[in-house]
Structure 1
């Protein structure tokens, strides 16, 4: 009985240490300036889904895997997922999403989209840096994502931010069976520690 109690207490301590508390994935809206333009950075909520879906269709017209029900499922899991959106004059112009895996200490970028009229303005880079900083703040160690083999522009952006090639997944994308390049970013220990001490 004593052994069972010790095992239970050990498991309880592990769970307390490794769980994400609901408030840990909270985020307050911010006004930000990116390359001289003002934007509003917010956490995406269910009412944002129609705009997110419209942007998804505009940026990735061949990809039918992200429908409104997928967005709803993603946004409702607020304990493990976060989506940031950028608004310009109240119009949603970009978003990024991430899933926070507590056991592996990895944040997986699930989706990034920037309205074509707003591309090449640093929004994608800004959102990725924001997700990296947010992951570091919560003591995560890596960030992973996939990019279409044909999407060289996205691969260059990820590489410029420090993501490294981490292999290939054959036939990853449902729409056309295109291969995906897996990329990984390792959050430096100093960055995690400085965020922990703030």
Structure 2
């Protein structure tokens, strides 16, 4: 994800998460930590064949070797196409580059489709955060994956994933960190 992606990403963010959408400032903050040798964030955008944003995803890496999926979002017209899985694999590739030994995420307890996706990629439930998603106080299921490498790459399909390439030291040059209570739109 680059600065010029923020506006179309915000439009999709508002469409998908109208009550708790991230702000432009949150994305700018995340992208500020996504470049250079000390990058701790990785954000990617999936572009549809028509050039529009089909989805996006982000990962934050901590110094302790933990990766945290910040967000995965797929436009309604592209849901069910495998794009969510491609975005997740991209984040797991970034986690490998960041040398993360585990990856965490939160997902709404009322989103079994996303939970099944995460389980297919080795995530297992480790706890619940009561009232995490606002408004409405929906609980978040916390899931963890012991990270031992990146799953096999998918076929490219019709989407192009764009992000910042890894820097020479091996750390991806992009991810981001949301404000408290804003992680992993699952």
Question: Given the two structures, how large is their TM-score scaled by the length of structure 2?
Answer: 0.74
| CA-atom RMSD in angstroms | 1.6
**Distance apart, 1:140 and its partner CA:** 1.3
**Pairing 1:172–2:132 present:** yes
Taking the aligned partners of 2:47 and 2:75, their CA distance within structure 1 comes to 11
SS of the aligned residue for 2:133 comes to: coil
Contact 2:66 2:101 in 1 (8 A): yes
What corresponds to 1:75 in structure 2? 31
The Cα offsets for residues 113-145 of structure 1, whole Å up to 9 and x where unpaired, read as 000000100011011112112212332111110
**Distance apart, 1:152 and its partner CA:** 1.2
Structure 1: state its 5+ residue gaps.
1-43, 193-198
Bigger drift between 75-84 and 117-126 goes to: 75-84
SS of the aligned residue for 2:87 comes to: helix
Indicate which of 108, 131, 151 corresponds to 2:91: 131
The residue correspondences of 1:142-161 to structure 2 (distance < 5 A) are 142-161=102-121
SS of the aligned residue for 2:20 comes to: coil
Question: Given the two structures, how large is their TM-score scaled by the length of structure 1?
Answer: 0.69
Higher relative contact order (CA 8 A, sep 6+): 2
**Distance apart, 1:70 and its partner CA:** 1.1
Structure 2: state its 5+ residue gaps.
151-186
